[in-house]
Amino acid sequence: MKTLSKIVICLVLTGILTGCGKDSGSGGKAGDATTATIKVNEDFAKSLDLNNPQYLEDAKRGFIARPSGKITTATGDVLIDFDDFNFVEGKAPPTVNPSLWRHANLNAQIGLFKVTEGIYQVRGFDIANMTLIEGSSGWIVVDPLSCKETSEAAIAFARKHLGNKPVSAIIFTHSHIDHFGGVFGITSIQDVAERKIPVVAPDGFLEEATSENIMAGPAMRRRSMYQFGKNLERSTKGLVDAGIGKSMAYGTIGILAPNQIVTRAKQELIIDGVRFIFYNVPGSEAPAEMTFIIPDKKAYCGAEILVQTMHNILTPRGAKVRNALRWSNYLDQALEQAADAEVCFGTHNHPVWGRAHITEFITKHRDVYRYTHDQTVRLFNAGYTPQEIADMIKLPESLESYFGCRGYYGDLRHNVKAVYQFYLGFYDGNPANLNPLPPSESGKRYLELAGGADKVIGAAQAAFDKGDYRWSVELLNHVVFAQPDNTNAITLLARTYDQMGYMSESAVWRNIYLTAASELRNGPPKRESDRSYAIDMLMQTPIESFLDAMAAALNGPAAEGKDFKVNLVIPDAQESFVLWIENAVLHHRKTAPAPDANVTITMKKNVFIKLLTDSADIKDTLLSSDFKITGSRIDLIRFLTLFDKPPVSFAVVTP
């Protein structure tokens, strides 16, 4: 039993995905908007034409029906409550940036919509849209949302109003989980095989979709809770929007291997009687992504390289930096690809209608990314640092005044730093920043220099009172990291983050600031380690991906001088691997079992995955014929103790 427990530890040590089990809700009370914050938001409202009715008319255009009630998991956990954002109406409250409030109202138009003849969208059931295209024999589903529960509810709602047609094809536009994770809510592996349903995706989709969250899963998941404001209350002092949608649903995820791959830059396919022209756009918003046009319907789908907001060149949750120049070039090509389109729809937010409006929409987005790229490069070539460039760059009026690409999801300051990182990395060139002290150590020295924590807090309070929140945060952050039990500093820092959130036009920045404030008041969230929600997806993930993540969890200092060798045999997949430690590095090779291995573990892939997700019954697994250990169990235990298991949560705004 102890041996098997150690195996479970080994298999779950990677932490795997950014999806979630249960998190404890963050309590505590956010503060009111200060006079300084109110003034900033009032001035912000005066600088923009927030009353243009065209955007709201577009967000409501084609409306058929609105859902009610809730979407829950099998255990009753609420994933989506359709009444959560009913408060988003009327004039912006003092605690929300007025431009973000306007955008949040557009995203609050949820339900079933007709895009054009034969094309419909379900919005507000998840952070992404599900698009339904009428084929000869059924519905061609584009991007079946994040999880099974929301996808199942969305297709049922659409069928209720449009007719009970079967799913005749599935299109995955790109490799982010909110665009494929809900596939088993609309079909099954057996159904796809029996009815020969086309599953279309861009080149590299499966590899990218299953790998993005494996290696950096624990950190990425933790950071995503900040980005999407997962534990914030839905209120004028909490979550009001996520920029590209209302909120992310964290339910049961899966994936289907595509059976039709778009490999060429331009590729035409007839899918259930509908003619599609696909365009590969890899390395833009996702490593594997494609757009398409349906010529007969004069409808262009921009996937996620075109949304109703500036996007992220580097998402705050963490990911590979995106290529802003390549993204801009793809959009330049899109102008020609969509030249005859009468509607441009995306996988988030609402569509754009009319050729002139579509041309303007694509052109503005093209030039936002190109301007951000070019001006950042110009300034870093002149010797400016990322922080300096972020405060220097401002979009030209022609771009800044266009609501369709304002920074509700991405942010210009963050994107500038992403472009810098893409070319030059994290180091800004100043040797003072080459090997700085860690935050806790520098904090102690700043406090000593300033004459103690009370003096620093006093200076921070003075800055707070003047509305100089960035300086207040910088001062208080030193105190909190030097003295994590200093309640005065924690309280004032939380209040400061409240105000910075209230002023943020970016939904993501707002969510990050307000989550930071909540966690300062209540501590990091707790969650269950059960990852059974991901089994359907993990079954499609190559074993090598898990072994790479396992290698990244090896405690190098503890492994120095060790030379264990382990065979891993997965008989039903007809795969076997040899794992060995050499020079304090875990290596793996797909090959026949080594005769000189210390131990051999044999198990079926579903057992491997269940152990990985903490969903296996230990006793049943130990007695099962699907699991077998031969060789030295003592060596196996010694091998497994060399691996670190990431914590279920970790502090972000405190040491």
Upper half-sphere CA count for residue 138 (Cβ side, 13 Å): 17
For residue 544, count other CB atoms closer than 10 A to its CB: 14
pLDDT digits (tens, 9 = 90+) for 490-500: 999 999 999 99
Residue 615: pLDDT band (50, 70, 90) is low
Alpha-carbon separation of residue 508 from 241, 250, 310, 399 (angstroms): 8, 17, 12, 20
Strand ranges for 210-342 from DSSP E: 260-262, 266-271, 274-280, 290-294, 299-301
**DSSP letter assigned to residue 73:** -
- Which pLDDT value is given to residue 32? 96
Distance CA 568, CA 591 (A): 10
Instruction: Answer for the pair 240, 298: CB distance below 8 angstroms, yes or no.
Output: no
H/E segment holding residue 634 = helix 633-640
pLDDT digits (tens, 9 = 90+) for 399-447: 999 999 999 999 999 999 999 999 999 999 999 999 999 999 999 999 9
The more confidently predicted of residues 52 and 272 is 272
Share of the chain above pLDDT 90, in %: 82
Sequence-distant (6+) residues with CB within 8 A of 224 are 18, 230, 248, 317, 318
- Which pLDDT value is given to residue 30? 87
- Which pLDDT value is given to residue 618? 58
Average pLDDT on 219-235 reads 92
- On the question of pLDDT at 617 being above 70, the answer is no
Distance CA 346, CA 175 (A): 15
pLDDT digits (tens, 9 = 90+) for 109-124: 999 999 999 999 999 9
* Helix, strand or coil, per DSSP, at residue 268: strand
The more confidently predicted of residues 602 and 610 is 602
Distance CA 156, CA 23 (A): 28
Q: Determine how β-strand 575-582 pairs with β-strand 585-590.
A: antiparallel
The more confidently predicted of residues 358 and 545 is 358
Instruction: Answer for the pair 212, 319: CB distance below 8 angstroms, yes or no.
Output: yes
User: 543-552 and 205-215 helices cross at what angle (nearest 10)?
Assistant: 30
String of DSSP letters for 129-189: PEEEEE-SSSEEEE---SSHHHHHHHHHHHHHHH--PPEEEEE--BSSGGGTTTGGGT--H
- Which pLDDT value is given to residue 455? 97
- Which pLDDT value is given to residue 531? 64
Burial (Cβ within 10 Å: 0-12, 13-18, ≥19) of residue 431? exposed
- On the question of pLDDT at 616 being above 70, the answer is no
Share of the chain above pLDDT 70, in %: 93
Average pLDDT on 356-376 reads 98
- Which pLDDT value is given to residue 623? 64
Whole-model pTM?
A: 0.91
Distance CA 501, CA 224 (A): 17
**DSSP letter assigned to residue 437:** P
If phi > 0 it is left, if psi is from -120 to 50 it is alpha, else beta; for residue 254 that is beta
pLDDT digits (tens, 9 = 90+) for 278-322: 999 999 999 999 999 999 999 999 999 999 999 999 999 988 899
108-145 as b/e, with b when 16 or more CB fall inside 10 Å?
A: bbbbbbebbebbbbbbbbbbbbbbbbbbeebbbbbbbb
Q: Which structure tokens are listed for 246?
A: 């209302």
Greatest C-alpha distance within the chain: 76
Upper half-sphere CA count for residue 429 (Cβ side, 13 Å): 13
- Cα dihedral 229, 230, 232, 238, rounded to 10, equals 40
- Which pLDDT value is given to residue 501? 98
Alpha-carbon separation of residue 28 from 33, 457, 519, 528, 563 (angstroms): 16, 22, 9, 22, 51
Average pLDDT on 213-218 reads 75
Sequence-distant (6+) residues with CB within 8 A of 646 are 13, 14, 15, 218, 553
- Which pLDDT value is given to residue 609? 80
The more confidently predicted of residues 468 and 611 is 468
Q: Which structure tokens are listed for 42?
A: 């009032």
What share of residues in the chain are helix, strand, coil (percent, to 5)? 45, 15, 40
Its sign, for the CA torsion 148, 151, 157, 161, is negative
H/E segment holding residue 336 = helix 324-337
Q: Which structure tokens are listed for 7?
A: 């195996």
Q: How far is CA 616 from the centre of its chain?
A: 28
Domain ranges for the chain, please list them. 2-16+531-640, 53-424, 437-522
Which ranges of 338-385 would DSSP assign to H, the alpha helix?
355-380
β-partners of residue 566 are 579, 599
- Which pLDDT value is given to residue 620? 62
Average pLDDT on 370-380 reads 97
Superfamily of domain 437-522: Alkyl sulfatase, dimerisation domain (1.25.40.880)
Superfamily of domain 53-424: Metallo-beta-lactamase domain (3.60.15.30)
Superfamily of domain 2-16+531-640: SCP2 sterol-binding domain (3.30.1050.10)
Residue 25: pLDDT band (50, 70, 90) is very low
Q: Determine how β-strand 627-631 pairs with β-strand 599-603.
A: antiparallel
Average pLDDT value over all residues in the chain: 92
- On the question of pLDDT at 19 being above 80, the answer is no
- Which pLDDT value is given to residue 211? 80
**Of 412, 225, 414, which is closest to residue 314 (Cα–Cα)?**
414
Burial (Cβ within 10 Å: 0-12, 13-18, ≥19) of residue 409? buried
- On the question of pLDDT at 5 being above 60, the answer is no
The more confidently predicted of residues 89 and 221 is 89
Q: Determine how β-strand 575-582 pairs with β-strand 343-345.
A: unpaired
- On the question of pLDDT at 621 being above 80, the answer is no
